[in-house]
Amino acid sequence: MGMTCERVRERLPEWAAGALGVEVRDEVASHLEVCATCAEEARTVRLLAGARPAVPGELEVRLRAALDREWAATAAVGGSGVGSDRADRRDRAARPRWARIPGGLPAWVAAAAVLAAVVGRGVLRPGAQDDSPVLAYAEEDAPALLWDEGVVAGAPVLEGLTDEELAQLLEEMEP
Amino acid sequence: MNGHGAESGREPRDDELVAGARAGDREALDVLVARHHGVAYRVALGILADPDAAADATQEAFLKAMRGLAGFRGDARFRTWLLTIVSNEARTQLRRGVRRRERSMDEVGEMGDGHRGADELVAEGDACRRARGLLERLPEKQRLAVQLRVDEGLSFREVGEIIGSSEGAARVNYHHGIKRLRAWMEDTWA
C-alpha cells in the first residue's frame, strides 16, 4: 500500500534533504508522481531547503573567543566546571557583602541584621506607597528584598559568610 | 578533550560533552559550539531577520548556556535547550528595539531574475531565494516551525519545545506555514 498524503507531507523535509532511506524515498517519489497537491508542496519545501541561510564564517571563532573570556573570568573565582558553582561564586563575590546574605544561619541572626538596619537607619516608611520593596536577584535561589536605600530584608540568609564576616557585617550595619 | 566518545573512537554525544564541560573540560565546550552554532544562528536569524543581530543573539545565548550549564538537567536534548535559549534571547532583542528586517511582497517578487534566466540553475536559485523571502513574512511560530523542520530536520516534538507549544500545535503551525507559502508563491509568481 502506498503512503498517504499526510505521511508523505510529513517526510518532505527529509526527502528534500536527501535524508530518507531508499525504500521510503522511492515510496515518496511514487506518490509525488500521482498526487499534484503533494508534488506542489514538495516543490515548496525543496525551494526552501535550497536556500538555507549561510552561517558567517567568523561566527564560530567569535563565539569561542567570547566563551574564552567568560571561562577566564569564572576561572579566576575557582570552582569546577562551567556554569556550576563558578558563576554563582563570581556573582556572589561581585555583590556587596550585605547583598550576599543567603540562607543557612539561624533566623535570629538574619532578623537581627534586618532589625539593626531598619531601626538604625530608619529606612522603612510604612506609610509611603512608593516604598514597596522590589525583588532583587530574582533568578537566585534565595531572593532578597531591596529598598532604594540599599537595605536588605525579606529572606535574608547568610551562606558563605564566615563568623568574622558576619560579625563585621553586623558591625557595619550599626548606626 | 576528556570526552568518553573520544576514548572509544566515536564522536562524543552532547550529553557527554555537557558533562565534560561541567567538569572543567574547555574543549568539550568548543565541540558543542562547533556542532550547534549554525542552527543556533539560523534560529536567531529566523526571529530577527538581521545577520548582525542574529550573531549577537547567538553569542549571548551561548554565554547564557555556559553559565547555566549546571541547571541543565538533561531532561531535554542539549540542542533543544540551547535553541530555546537562543529563541528567548532573540525575542528579548526584539523587545529591546532591534527591528526585524522584513521584505515587502514587492521586494520578494523582485529578488533575482525569476525564470527569465537562460540558465535553469540560476532560475532555480532565484526561486529558492524568493521562497526564503516569503518565509520571512510568516508569523513567528509558523516561520520557526517551517524553518526548524526544513532546515534542521527537527522532529515536531522538538519544534514544539522550542517554539513553546505542544507537538500537535507545532505540526499545525508547520502545515499552515507551508500552505500559506504555497499560496503566496502562486500569487507572487503568477
Cβ of A29: how many Cβ atoms within 10 Å?
Answer: 13
B57, closest residue in chain A (CA to CA): A63
Angle at CA of residue B145, ends B140 and B147, nearest 5°: 90
- Residues paired with B16 in a beta bridge: none
Chain A: give the shortest CA distance to residue B41, in Å. 7
Whether A147 has a pLDDT exceeding 70, the answer reads no
Range from A103-112, B37-46, B123-132 that averages highest in pLDDT: B37-46
Closest chain A residue by Cα to residue B172: A10
Which residues on A lie below 8 Å from B26 (Cβ)?
71
Q: Read off the pLDDT of residues A83-134 as tens digits, 9 standing for 90 and up.
A: 544 545 555 555 444 444 444 445 555 556 555 554 544 444 343 343 333 3
Percent of chain A with pLDDT over 90: 36
| Cβ–Cβ below 8 Å for B182 and A81 | no
**pLDDT tens profile B2-14:** 545 556 678 899 9
Cβ distance B19 to B32 under 8 Å?
no
Average pLDDT of the segment spanning B55-66:
96
* B175 contacts A9? CB cut-off 8 A: yes
For the stretch A3-10, contacts whose Cβ atoms lie closer than 8 Å and that sit 24 or more positions apart, written own/partner, are A3/A27, A3/A28, A3/A31, A5/A31, A5/A35, A5/A37, A5/A38, A8/A32, A8/A35, A8/A38, A9/A38, A9/A41, A9/B175, A9/B178, A10/B171
What's the gap in Å between the CA of A136 and the closest CA on chain B? 19
Interface of A with B (CB under 8 A): 9-10, 13-14, 16-17, 19, 40-41, 44-45, 47-53, 55-56, 59-60, 62-64, 66-67, 70-71, 80-85, 87-88
Grid cell 507545532 is found at B170
Of the candidates B63, B178, B185, the beta carbon closest to that of A67 is on B63
- Distance separating alpha carbons of residues B37 and B32, to the nearest angstrom: 8
Residue type at position A39: A
Lowest mean pLDDT among A45-54, A117-126, B78-87, B130-139: A117-126
In B, minimum Cα distance to A44 occurs at: B182
Q: Hey, is the C-beta of B190 within 8 angstroms of any chain A C-beta?
A: no
Task: Provide CB contacts within 8 A for B76, sequence distance 6+.
Answer: B84, B161
Query: ipTM more than 0.85?
Result: no
